[in-house]
Amino acid sequence: MTQRENNLVWLKDMIDHLRECREQLQWADDPETVRLLTESMLRDLDCCRRLCTQLCRPASLPLAV
């Protein structure tokens, strides 16, 4: 599997997790649960952003670390 394919699979998994968290968030009324879910969603969104950035780069450019 290529790096691009790996990134796409990982992106799909992150989006699926975001969807699950959103569904849980709809029913959450405990402030601690809301906080945990939203923090998890923010981490997932950051990961999605990084993956999308990598997908935008041409394969010939090295990744900055």
Q: What is the pLDDT of residues 1-47, one digit of tens each?
A: 899 999 999 999 999 999 999 999 999 999 999 999 999 999 999 99
pLDDT band at 61 (very low <50, low <70, confident <90, very high): low
* Confidence (pLDDT) at 57: 82
- Model pTM above 0.75: yes
pLDDT band at 63 (very low <50, low <70, confident <90, very high): low
Name the residue among 26, 23, 2, 16 with its Cα closest to residue 47: 16
Contacts 24+ apart (CB under 8 A), 20-24: none
Query: Which secondary-structure segment (H or E) carries 2?
Result: none
Which stretches within 2-30 are classed as H helix? 3-27
* Confidence (pLDDT) at 45: 97
